């Protein structure tokens, strides 16, 4: 059974830094994608960043490009989101998600993820 567990959330001052972690267990696919999503109260869930394990390519939402970095530990598969220079508008519940290439190698709005974590809250203080 695949399980994704996020950690590392909390409160951070605007302009500071925070690193989110997502540990995955039970995922046996060789090529897949991992992504970070976020959802703020009253807003739709949005994809923040994605990494494709096949070629290690990454993609970011324009709102976080140049500030956030998605990465994966090659040894244990742990997923990270390094949040540099967070802004109050980055406040949200952050989720990690995993999916096979069949669901991920699509335009962003049509991607399908099979597994989700329970989320970790990030609050950016102004």
Helix and strand counts by DSSP (H, E) for the chain: 1, 11
Distance of alpha carbon 9 from alpha carbon 105, whole angstroms: 28
pLDDT, one tens digit per residue, over 100-125 is 888 898 999 999 999 999 999 999 99
Q: What is the pLDDT of residue 26?
A: 79
pLDDT, one tens digit per residue, over 58-95 is 999 999 999 999 999 988 889 999 999 999 999 999 99
Residue from 34, 29, 11 nearest 98 by CA: 34
Spatial contact of 24 and 12, defined as CB atoms under 8 Å apart: no
């Amino acid at each position: 059974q695949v399980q994704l567990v996020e950690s590392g959330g909390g409160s951070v001052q605007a302009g500071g830094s925070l690193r989110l972690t997502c540990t995955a267990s039970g995922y046996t696919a060789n090529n897949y994608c991992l992504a970070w999503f976020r959802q703020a109260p009253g807003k739709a869930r949005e994809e923040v960043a994605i990494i494709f394990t096949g070629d290690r390519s990454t993609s970011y939402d324009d709102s976080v490009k140049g500030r956030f970095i998605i990465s994966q530990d090659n040894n244990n598969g742990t997923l990270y989101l390094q949040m540099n220079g967070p802004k109050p508008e980055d406040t949200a519940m952050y989720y990690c998600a995993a999916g096979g290439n069949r669901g991920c190698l699509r335009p962003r709005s049509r991607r399908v993820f099979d597994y989700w974590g329970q989320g970790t809250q990030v609050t950016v203080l102004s």
